[in-house]
């Protein structure tokens, strides 16, 4: 997508770090598009649009690995934000607590999945941070995939 829009491969940019490539408002990278969060969806059908769908299991695992995992010896940026956020969202009725033996709060995979399951069971998944938010509550909340011009998977050839 980057090569199509910007006329050069992303690798040629030698770009790392924030703002990330998936932040379409990142003007350091995305110079040929204007991306803004829509509030008026009334004329959506009249505009070209694209959406990338990611396998939900991959998203869940990726969010765990990049935001809350205990499977690291180094603190990941976000541990101190996302772990307490998840535990706060699940509420005091949960018996799950963060591990802190590594010097930072983290969740083992089974705890993380249990927290997400409890949040979903409480009907509170719409309050999740965008890293954990189900896709149907993100870009497909107001407009279903069938109304987008192009919808493809992250790993898709198109």
Which pLDDT score, from 0 to 100, does residue 158 have?
47
* pLDDT of 20 above 60: yes
Backbone angles phi, psi at 68, to 5 degrees: -140, 0
E strands, 21-134, are 50-53
Which pLDDT score, from 0 to 100, does residue 60 have?
95
Contact residues for 143 (Cβ-Cβ < 8 A; gap 6+): 41, 44
Average pLDDT for residues 81-97, to the nearest whole number? 92
E strands, 27-123, are 50-53
What confidence category does residue 92 fall into, taking pLDDT thresholds of 50, 70 and 90?
confident
Cis peptide upstream of residue 19 (ω within 30 degrees of 0): yes
List pLDDT tens digits, range 102-114: 999 999 999 999 9
Handedness of CA 138, 80, 17, 73 (dihedral sign): negative
Compute the mean pLDDT over every residue in the chain, rounded to the nearest whole number: 87
* pLDDT of 43 above 80: yes
What confidence category does residue 72 fall into, taking pLDDT thresholds of 50, 70 and 90?
very high
Distance CA 119, CA 133 (A): 11
Average pLDDT for residues 36-58, to the nearest whole number? 82
- Greater confidence, 9 or 68? 68
DSSP assignment, residue 68? I
Q: Coil, strand or helix: which one is 112?
A: helix
Which residue's structure tokens are 């999945």?
113
């Amino acid at each position: 997508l980057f090569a199509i829009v910007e006329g050069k491969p992303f690798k040629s940019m030698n770009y790392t770090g924030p703002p990330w490539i998936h932040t379409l408002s990142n003007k350091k990278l995305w110079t040929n598009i204007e991306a803004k969060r829509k509030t008026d969806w009334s004329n959506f059908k009249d505009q070209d649009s694209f959406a990338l769908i990611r396998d939900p299991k991959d998203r869940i695992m990726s969010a765990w690995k990049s935001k809350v995992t205990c499977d690291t010896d180094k603190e990941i940026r976000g541990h101190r934000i996302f772990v307490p956020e998840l535990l706060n969202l699940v509420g005091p009725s949960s018996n799950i607590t963060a591990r802190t033996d590594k010097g930072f709060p983290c969740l083992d995979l089974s705890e993380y999945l249990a927290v997400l399951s409890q949040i979903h069971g409480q009907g509170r998944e719409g309050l999740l941070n965008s890293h954990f938010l189900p896709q149907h509550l993100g870009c497909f909340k107001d407009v279903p995939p069938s109304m987008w011009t192009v919808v493809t998977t992250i790993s898709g050839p198109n």
